[in-house]
Amino acid sequence: MLVHTWHKSGSSLCSLHAALLLLALAIAQPALPIVAAAAKTPVILIPGDGGSQVEARLDGKPWVPHYWCSKTTKDYFPIWLNLELLTYFTIDCFVDNFRLHFDNVTNISHNAPNVSIRVPNYGDTAAVEYFDVSRISASAYFSGLVAALTKQLGYTRNVSVRGVPFDFRRSPPDLDVENFDSNLLQLIESTCRDNGNRPALLVAHSYGNIMALRFLQRQSADWKRRHIRALLAVGAPLGGAVKTVRVVSSGDSLNIPFEKPLTIRPLQRSFTSSAFLMPQAPLWPPGEPFASRPGRNYSSSNYAEFFADIGFPEGLAMRLASLTDFDATKPPGVEVHCVHGDGLPTPGRFVWTSDEPGWADSQPGIVNDNGDGTVNERSLQACVKFWSGVQKQPVRSFVIDGAEHVKILRHAAFINYTLTLLSTFDAEQPQPQPLLYSSKAKTLPDENAEDRWL
């Protein structure tokens, strides 16, 4: 069993074989085989939480938080990500327009009253290449990978590489109402047809892996054999992430200058995807707290108390509804490449020192864990732990030391891994041995094992 790890330190490797692997995968501009045939393995990009551009239209709102907030707009306008809406004067307007309202009878969320939301440019890579509609370099998302595909392998935007933007505010059951699965199925089938009936590589990031897994679990083995070459799962939070606990309890300012976490918290609490992405058993067992305050610990066994104590009791119903028909331990039934960062301080437990009423309104202390800065290592490695040896298709792992959760998509090692993978697919050659992760392996090797190539 091999776990291959890219180390940013450039320390010596254990063998010439390992050195050749890193040379092939990590050089910024590698000499890769260019496929002459017009038909290529198509690439489908499935973004994560916050990774899709979203538009809104105001249709005569009955109430606004400030007199300067608009009640009506003539047409749709960019609402996410639109940096112009995140200023001191406009943030409350943005929060009120973009929040969801959960119906605890139907267990489905709705947009704010008289607000229409749409996700434009389905199938278009433009919707997932940048977070911000202005396409500034600081908001780059899948843009680096798309540029590499087009310039180095001759891919064509919206023909051989496609984007799958979706309403990331919503949990998987919420997205059922928005026809996520049927839309994705049609996009994959049409894209495969347009590329010589070659099966596609799904490249999913973060929360997008949840949607990709759920989609694949629902398709027949024959359909997957004909349409899916592999799943490249990047930063997959299959067991949730502790970081979401602070988002729901005390709010997270998202690094927006001059904004207080409590200003953003109502919006973050309204997202059913936030409730879904909180730590889940069995990766977080009942006896391991992910949050604590004087005299009380909170773990996966007492979510009801947690939501009640932070003053957000409806969060429990949102969480329970969000987990409907989802089982991370059930494999997707296709070849999988699990790629993630490692070695960065990542919230492992939040500690509040106050026990006074409203204690959750203050920012907690952090006990760090290992991970990619956002998702904990145990959740990132769950695709190997849960699926390797369970499905007949291979499960492979590539760990990039020091790669951050979002920035990994711009990391040279990730981009080169993807290009190398596609080149081998298109050349119809067997997978090179250095990329293999034993499909029979059920656990990761010891951290100090030689095959981590420290």
Active-site residue set: 206, 372, 405
Q: Could you give the 3-state DSSP secondary structure of residue 368?
A: strand
Residues 6 or more apart in contact with residue 60 via CB below 8 angstroms: 71, 72, 114
Pair 332, 231: CB distance under 8 Å: yes
Q: For residue 246, what are its two tokens?
A: 């602070």
Helices H, strands E: what count in the chain?
Answer: 16, 16
Best CA proximity match to 230, nearest among 328, 334, 330, 130: 334
Q: For residue 177, what are its two tokens?
A: 């109402």
Q: For residue 164, what are its two tokens?
A: 């799958």
Question: H helices within 310-401, ranges in order?
Answer: 314-322, 377-380, 382-387
Name the DSSP letter for residue 432: P
- DSSP-based helix, strand, coil % in the chain, nearest 5: 35, 20, 45
Name the DSSP letter for residue 11: P
Pair 334, 394: CB distance under 8 Å: no
Q: For residue 275, what are its two tokens?
A: 């409730």
Q: How many other CB atoms are there within 10 angstroms of residue 22's CB atom?
A: 18
Name the DSSP letter for residue 59: B
Token look-up 């005299």 returns 295
Sign of the torsion angle spanned by Cα atoms 437, 163, 143, 133: negative
Question: Dihedral of the CA atoms 254, 256, 259, 262 (nearest 10)?
Answer: -10
Residues 6 or more apart in contact with residue 167 via CB below 8 angstroms: 52, 54, 117, 119, 174, 175, 178
For residue 19, what is the enclosing H or E element?
Answer: helix 16-26
Residue type, 266: P
End-to-end CA distance of the chain: give it in Å, rounded.
16
Residue type, 113: P
